[in-house]
Structures are given as C-alpha cells and as structure tokens.
Amino acid sequence: MNNIQEIKDYVVEITEGNSTKEEKLQQICDYLASKISYYDWVGFYFRNGDKEELKLAQFNGEPTEHTIIPFGKGICGQVAVSNKNFVVQDVSEQDNYISCGWKVKSEIVIPIFVDGKNIGQIDIDSHTVNPFTEADEELLEFVCKKVSAFV
C-alpha cells in the first residue's frame, strides 16, 4: 500500500472541506480507488431510513445492481448486523456472499458509527485474492471515523 499517512492526510482535507456530504463521499471513493491499486470498487452504503436494509450512496467502480441490501444478506448486510469489520480474502469461500461481478475476488467492509450506532459502511471490492492487510483495516477505520463527523 502507498504511504498511509499521506492518504489519511488527504482524506482529512476532503472531510474538512466545504463540499456537500455527497461530494465528500464521492471524493473519498475516487481518491481511494485512484491511490490503492487493488481497490477496484469503493462505495458507501447507509441504513435506508428506519428499514432493515442498506442503500447504496456514492461509489467508484462498475455500476452494481445491489443498490438495496437487506440486513444479514451478503458481507455488507452481515456487517450491518454484527457491527464488526469483515474481511473476506476469497469470496468463493463465503456462503452468504452477494456477487457484484465475476471479477470480484475479495471484499472488505468497515462499519461507520455515529454516537455508537452503526449508520453505514465503506465497502471495497478487489479483483485480487488475498490483498487486504491490517493496514487496510486501519486506514478504512480512520476513513469511517472521519466520515462519521459529517454524515
């Protein structure tokens, strides 16, 4: 992975800027996808009102038909229930996986908390098997903490 501190510093610049919430989320998606070669799809999902489902917000990558994900379904839906990071180094080994395309080989999902409540998540798909490290988790937890300040 590139210089994590450099990436964190730029994420701070984005989150502290004067853009709208939607623009900030899109800038983060675009930036992470451009800086980390194995981040092939970067997106945010948020709880859809009072419903037990997630709704796709901003993303960078190929369009997905999975714009609504029920809690408990797939990796994202499981994180909405567990409130824990979920790193899948090989999606073919997961029973409860929603395929976003044949190219996707691995996925990492990190929840976003506001006042201790899971309100959404960042979702990263990679076309590479086993790309994610603790550094990815650390970086994405940092991103989620910064996002929680303005969503």
**Domains of the chain, first to last:** 4-148 (3.30.450.40)
3-state DSSP call for residue 43?
strand
Indicate the helix (H) or strand (E) that contains 96.
Answer: none
Q: What is the pLDDT of residue 95?
A: 77
Q: Summarize the confidence of residues 119-144 as an average pLDDT.
A: 97
Q: Over the stretch 3-48, which tens digit does the pLDDT of each residue have?
A: 899 999 999 999 999 999 999 999 999 999 999 999 999 999 999 9
Please say if the pLDDT value at position 52 is more than 70: yes
CA dist 92 to 13, 29, 40, 101, 106, Å? 37, 25, 17, 12, 8
Percent over 90 (pLDDT), the chain: 89
Please say if the pLDDT value at position 1 is more than 70: no
What strand order describes the sheet that includes 41-47? 68-70, 53-60, 41-47, 117-126, 106-114, 86-88
Residue 115, phi-psi category: left (phi > 0), alpha (psi -120 to 50), beta (remainder): left
What pTM was estimated for this model as a whole?
A: 0.95
Q: How far apart are CA 22 and CA 40, in angstroms?
A: 20
| Average pLDDT in the chain | 95
**Radius of gyration of the chain from its Cα atoms, rounded to whole angstroms:** 14
Q: What is the pLDDT of residue 98?
A: 74
Q: Around 62, how many Cα atoms within 13 Å sit in the side-chain half-sphere?
A: 12
